[in-house]
Amino acid sequence: MSGAIIGFIIWSLVALIFLIIAICDLRSEKPVGFYTGVKPPEVKDVKKYNRAVSIIWFVYFGVFELLGLTLLFYEQNSPIFIVPILGVIFLSIGIIIAYNKVLGKYKA
pLDDT digits (tens, 9 = 90+) for 12-59: 999 999 999 999 999 999 999 888 888 888 999 999 999 999 999 999
- Chain mean pLDDT for the chain: 91
pLDDT at 26: 94
Task: For residue 59, count CB atoms less than 10 angstroms from its CB and return exposed for 0-12, middle for 13-18, buried for 19 or more.
Answer: middle
Number of domains in the chain: 1
Provide the CA 49 distance to its chain's centre, in angstroms. 16
Among residues 30, 70, 78, 35, which one has the least CA distance to residue 50? 30
pLDDT at 30: 92
pLDDT at 6: 87
Structural domain span for residue 19: 3-106
Cβ–Cβ under 8 Å, residues 56 and 98: yes
Amino acid occupying residue 20: I
Spatial distance between the Cα atoms of 12 and 91, rounded to a whole number of angstroms: 16
- Residue 86 reports pLDDT greater than 90: yes
